[in-house]
Amino acid sequence: MSEGAAGGTGGVEARGLVRSFRRDGRELRVLDGAELSIAPGEVVALFGESGSGKSTLLSILGGLDDGFAGSVRLSGVELSGLAEPERSRLRARTVGFVFQDHNLLPRLTVSENLLLPFAFRRGERPGPEAASEALESVGIAPLARERAARLSGGERQRAAVARALVTRPRLLLCDEPTGSLDGANGRRVAELLVSLARGRGVAVLVASHDPSLWRGADRALELSGGRLRARLAGAA
């Protein structure tokens, strides 16, 4: 896949990313020329020590943080310089997020949890069929009417993946999606994300501390000193 394809129809492409924070009156440069490109259908695992900037990178790529320098092309649209309303619209249309904590509301049903983000949104809203289709694709369709509180940890994380899929995103950004699961459930979620990427042609970037879970990824990157480098094959 050419570099253009990554930032074009589906994937994401970042060039020369710089992101700094102030700490104790000094500049902490977390990203310092980071570059990456992920094509539709590709799964890229992201490793790096705690504090290396993985979550910071995901926030920028997903249009949650605009305090960066450099270029991010998301589905063909340049993020830098985009005003907030356009950035949110682009994010809502193209990006799905999965975090370590599922953030489901325990008293709502699984299906209600999936549609909740759209309850107060004007314009296009996914209907209940979008929720059932997403739950189907993560293998928990029978749990649609169950309250989130009654799901196991692994099922909740699958529901969180389904919630990220409801809008049919082109890019799925996952921040330690298996971090609160045991080994077996972690593997199931990792396999699920890989098969979703392949099946739906979604670009997937997964930040993780556990290389053993991501052997199915197409590539692995290491974030260190503010830059991304390829991790050796077999190391992921």
Ligand X SMILES: Nc1ncnc2c1ncn2[C@@H]1O[C@H](COP(=O)(O)OP(=O)(O)OP(=O)(O)O)[C@@H](O)[C@H]1O
Residues that bind Mg ion (CB under 5 A): 54-55
Other CB atoms within 10 Å distance of the CB of residue 97: 20
- Segment (H or E) for 145: none
Residue 49 has, within 13 A of its CA and on its CB side, a CA count of 7
| Minimum CB–partner distance for residue 97 and Mg ion (Å) | 13
Nearer to ligand X, 58 or 166 (CB): 58
| Minimum CB–partner distance for residue 174 and Mg ion (Å) | 11
Integer angstrom CA distances of residue 155 from 60, 211, 230, 233: 28, 22, 32, 31
Find out whether 83 and 46 touch, Cβ atoms under 8 Å: no
Pick from 51, 153, 183, 199 the residue near ligand X by CB under 6 A. 51
Q: Which stretch binds ligand X (CB under 6 A): 48-56, 75-83, 164-172, 191-199?
A: 48-56
User: Using the rule CB under 6 A, is 224 a contact of ligand X?
Assistant: no
What DSSP designation does 234 have? T
Nearer to ligand X, 24 or 129 (CB): 24
Pick from 6, 14, 30, 220 the residue near ligand X by CB under 6 A. 30
Nearer to ligand X, 67 or 183 (CB): 67
Number of residues in contact with ligand X under rule CB under 6 A: 10
Nearer to ligand X, 57 or 138 (CB): 57
Q: In what order do the strands lie in the sheet with 95-98?
A: 95-98, 171-175, 203-207, 43-47, 219-224, 227-230
Pick from 7, 54, 98, 206 the residue near ligand X by CB under 6 A. 54
Pick from 7, 12, 34, 52 the residue near ligand X by CB under 6 A. 52
Nearer to ligand X, 21 or 78 (CB): 21
Percent helix, strand and coil across the chain, each rounded to 5?
35, 25, 35
Task: Tokens for 82, please give them.
Answer: 């985009």
Interacting residues with ligand X (CB under 6 A): 21, 30, 48, 50-56
